Amino acid sequence: MKIKVRVTPNSKIDEVVKEGDTFLVRVNEPAKEGKANRAVIKLLADYFGVPQRQIAISSGFSSRNKVIDITR
């Protein structure tokens, strides 16, 4: 399953909010050295109830807009 994600780094809270066909993901990690990407993967794994290894960033590694691939 592929989902569109809009990431907000340096947020005060970690949360996932579904808005239309896009997920808004707020993480408190900075967008440096992949810290925000790792936090997004961890947060989405908890949200969907799957292991972190089943979530991969398909595109948008250095962008706020990402496409995430979730395998079940």
> pTM for the full model?
0.93
Residue 72 has a pLDDT of 80
Mean pLDDT confidence for 17-39: 96
Measure the CA angle with vertex 56, ends 24 and 35; round to 5°. 65
- In words, the CATH class of domain 2-70 is alpha beta
Q: Note whether 27 and 40 are within 8 A (CB).
A: yes
pLDDT for residue 66 is more than 90 = yes
Model pLDDT for residues 48-59, shown as the tens digit of each residue? 999 999 999 999
